[in-house]
Amino acid sequence: METLRVGSTGPYVKLIQSLLSRIGYNPGPVDGVFGNMTRQAVATYQRDNGLASDGVVGPDTWDSFLSILKGYDEYRVRPGDTLYNIALRYYTTVNAIMTANPGIDPNNLMIGQNLIVPYGIDVVFTDIDYTYTIMEMNIMALQARYPFLETGTIGTSVLGKNLYYIRIGNGPREVSYNGAHHSLEWITAPILMKFIENFSIAYSNRQSIRGYNLKQIFDSSSIYIVPMVNPDGVDLVLEGLNRDNPYYNELLKWNDTGRPFSQVWNANIRGVDLNRNYPASWEEAKAQEAELGVTGPGPTRYGGPSPLSEPETQAMTKFTREHNFRLVIAYHTQGRVIYWKYKDIRTPGDLRIATIFGRATGYAVTDTPYAASFAGYKDWFIEDFRRPGYTFELGLGVNPLPITQFNTIYRNNEEAMLLAPII
Ligand SMILES: [Zn+2]
């Protein structure tokens, strides 16, 4: 990780600010600007943790932060230890330790035995820029804390980043949610990740959420979540264009808007709009490009040289074909609407389920607008599988939606995510 000091800016400054405030240090607002308050908080943290107290986040301080962000400690049981005492020492709960270490006998800890001890803070932060690296850390942390989750990859992006999936549940009723096809819409990734965390916390505590019986959902269903379909694009938006990007010169040319990538870039790293790259009336989407002002690779709405030209869409179609999804939801922003239709193809329960989702979210259920009518993931799913597929447009405002909308959006959408597998 890059060294951070007074004057540094960006998503990783936000990350350490959010972390410091969570563990009781006051870095000032989580704004991505490393100022004097952040320096002071870092210095105090360093002093408390036996690090050189210089207020600069260099390799040693990063290591210390990363071990907290990992979400757990590996602990070797010593004479006299009890789970209760270990939990107290780590500000966590006995149940959290039991969950992370299935099969241990709490009344018969073995000296020298290794335990995973989760820290008492959530791993998915919801007040920061959610880069690929942060998501990856969070996935590893959730997997360690909640071994009943299954995690894996469905492929890799143009730049070789993993396209992760997380599976909740082990039942036969399969559904799938995905986020961040569009780079500017990255907030959909932490929405899905937070759902995974909240489900896992409540499930391991044998609690319900909104009256839903999580054990019943877990046993009857499998929810496959791909939180970030377009990690290269998300990082371009959040981290800016790096000199070592292999498409550096092309990207500068492709972004002919005169505005920064952080405000305009919705495509993958080759300038292809992934949600116009699926083989469902791809030619019609192509035919729209001229009137939408699209001439080639660029920030938005270029459907690529051919259907499924991109590794991200190839991975999504392959993954979808390998499963038996009863329905899928693709998460986008913005507009607070649910699109349920593709052309005139009707699928069993499509509008009825959309109406239930509409009630659960408070979002309007509408027909798909002309400029988004073809070659999207849900279009392809509806056409190929003749089962219901939905696009949820979360939140209101201008993309990228500010992270301050996170709580509202999450609250609006949690129930639909619980409903979908059992509807
Ligand atoms: Zn979108």
- Beta-strand relationship, 325-333 and 389-394: parallel
Please report, as a single letter, which amino acid is at residue 372: A
Same domain, 103 and 188: no
Same domain, 185 and 38: no
User: Where residue 55 sits, what CATH number does that domain have?
Assistant: 1.10.101.10
Same domain, 141 and 215: yes
Same domain, 60 and 184: no
pLDDT value at position 373? Answer: 83
Lookup: tokens for 272 = 């292809």
Calculate mean pLDDT across residues 310-339: 97
CA of residue 393 to ligand 1 center, whole Å: 7
Measured CA to CA, the distance from residue 20 to residue 27 in angstroms comes to 7
Measured CA to CA, the distance from residue 24 to residue 201 in angstroms comes to 22
Look up 393 and say whether it is catalytic. yes
Same domain, 418 and 342: yes
pLDDT at 26 over 90: yes
**Does residue 194 form part of some domain?**
yes
* Chain centroid to CA 19: 18
CA of residue 370 to ligand 1 center, whole Å: 14
Q: Is 211 exposed, middle or buried (0-12, 13-18, 19+ CB in 10 A)?
A: exposed
Last residue of a domain, one of 33, 51, 69: 69
Name residues with Cβ closer than 5 Å to ligand 1, which is an ion: 182, 185, 332
* Chain centroid to CA 177: 11
**What's the DSSP call for residue 109?**
P
Per-residue pLDDT band at 367 (split at 50, 70, 90): confident
**Does residue 298 form part of some domain?**
no
Q: HSE on the CB side for 204, CA within 13 Å?
A: 22
pLDDT value at position 368? Answer: 80
pLDDT value at position 101? Answer: 97
Catalytic hit among 174, 239, 393, 414: 393
**Does residue 367 form part of some domain?**
yes
Given a contact cutoff of 8 angstroms between Cβ atoms, the answer to whether 73 and 67 are in contact is: yes
User: Where residue 79 sits, what CATH number does that domain have?
Assistant: 3.10.350.10
User: Where residue 317 sits, what CATH number does that domain have?
Assistant: 3.40.630.10
pLDDT at 372 over 90: no
Instruction: Identify the bridge partners of residue 394 per DSSP, sorted by sequence position.
Output: 333
**Does residue 165 form part of some domain?**
yes
pLDDT at 369 over 90: no
* Chain centroid to CA 274: 17
For residue range 119-134, list pLDDT tens digits in order.
Answer: 999 999 999 999 999 9
For residue range 269-318, list pLDDT tens digits in order.
Answer: 999 999 999 999 999 999 999 999 999 999 999 999 999 999 999 999 99
Last residue of a domain, one of 118, 152, 187: 118
Domain of residue 143: give its range: 132-232+309-422
DSSP-based three-state secondary structure for 61: helix
**Does residue 330 form part of some domain?**
yes
DSSP-based three-state secondary structure for 85: helix
Backbone angle region of 254, left / alpha / beta, with phi > 0 → left and psi within -120 to 50 → alpha: alpha
Residues 6+ apart with CB under 8 A from 279: 307, 308, 317, 375, 380
Give the number of domains in the chain. Answer: 3
**Does residue 345 form part of some domain?**
yes
Per-residue pLDDT band at 146 (split at 50, 70, 90): very high
Same domain, 349 and 414: yes
CA of residue 418 to ligand 1 center, whole Å: 22
**Does residue 242 form part of some domain?**
no
User: Which run of H or of E encompasses 284?
Assistant: helix 282-289
Same domain, 413 and 358: yes
For residue range 197-206, list pLDDT tens digits in order.
Answer: 999 999 999 9
Same domain, 142 and 103: no
CA of residue 300 to ligand 1 center, whole Å: 10
pLDDT value at position 49? Answer: 96
CA of residue 293 to ligand 1 center, whole Å: 18
Same domain, 195 and 340: yes
CA of residue 182 to ligand 1 center, whole Å: 5
Same domain, 322 and 408: yes
pLDDT at 80 over 90: yes
DSSP-based three-state secondary structure for 392: strand
**Does residue 397 form part of some domain?**
yes
- Overall pTM > 0.85: yes
Same domain, 225 and 335: yes
- Any idea how long the chain is? 423
Per-residue pLDDT band at 268 (split at 50, 70, 90): very high
CA of residue 167 to ligand 1 center, whole Å: 23
Same domain, 374 and 409: yes
Percent of the chain with pLDDT over 90: 97
